[in-house]
Amino acid sequence: MSHKGLLAVLLSVILVAPAFGETHVIAGAGTSTQVVQLFFTHFAQLPQAQGQEFIVPDISVKHGGGVKSTESNLFGRTGRPLSSEERQQGKEEILLAKAPIAFCVGSATGVRALSVKQLEKVFTGQVANWKDIGGRDAQIVVIGRERTESVLSELLQELPFFERAKFNIVFDNDNQVIEFMKSPAGQYAITFGARSSLEAAELKTIDLTGEVQPGVRLGLVYDKKNSDQPLVRAAVGYAHSEGWRKQLAAAGLQPV
């Protein structure tokens, strides 16, 4: 090989290889924070990721913020699969896990479990008092999220009656929901979220009886122009590996 040819090869390697000691911030949906933290904890130990630092902030900038963050960061984190519009923007995804969706109730409802049919009646306003489904004599307060929120987006697909849901209050983020559910005003409320997030906040989740067990698909987003970047290729490979499947099983999560 000529000196010019060798130089061209070396330059191409330098241009695509991640810089040693580089820091990567992975921002985005709050729903996927714990899954993405788990992923990068183990991904960082791979030879392909040596010398790289991965920071997954606890704070949420939502799914849309995660997509937008790839304008300056290599990865963002998602709270649902990418939409066709997001793909048209040149974005690609790495689905990491399917996390169980759970429903939680306020501390004074007296309810421990609901069937899918009872859940439908509660969220569509057919039942307005907890006593009608085995709970206390108190008005039901239904807490929801904006339609584009990741968990609600998945519920709209898996439990179609959510198209007819009637929310008494709609919050903008997980922290607002958690604070309300823990307050006196939330003692007779019901809401939904990723089970891991609700349990981490020590909220009272209920059993959902029946065959339907909804889940939210969580992952990473990156810009298509970075598809050949070594770290992106390595992340795609690890997400499909047996090692990652074992980590998911240990964490009580399902592969996608």
Q: Cα(209)–Cα(30) distance, rounded to whole angstroms? A: 27
DSSP secondary structure letter of residue 129: B
Q: 230-239 vs 242-250: helix axis angle to the nearest 10?
A: 60
Enumerate helices (H) and strands (E) in the chain, giving the number of each: 10, 11
Q: Which residue has the tokens 């584009």?
A: 148
Asked whether 82 and 153 are in contact (CB, 8 A), the reply is no
Number of Cβ atoms within 10 Å of the Cβ of 29 = 30
pTM: 0.75
Q: Which domains does the chain have, with CATH numbers?
A: 3-99+218-250 (3.40.190.10), 100-215 (3.40.190.10)
Distances (CA, A) of 198 to 3, 177, 193: 60, 10, 6
Q: Nearest Cα to 254, choosing from 208, 194, 204?
A: 194
Q: Cα(133)–Cα(129) distance, rounded to whole angstroms? A: 8
pLDDT in tens, the chain (256 residues): 544 443 343 333 333 445 557 999 999 998 899 999 999 999 999 999 999 999 999 999 999 999 999 999 999 999 999 999 999 999 999 999 998 999 999 999 999 999 999 999 999 999 999 999 999 999 999 999 998 888 999 999 999 999 999 999 999 988 899 999 999 999 999 999 988 889 889 999 999 998 788 999 999 999 999 999 999 999 999 999 999 999 999 998 889 8
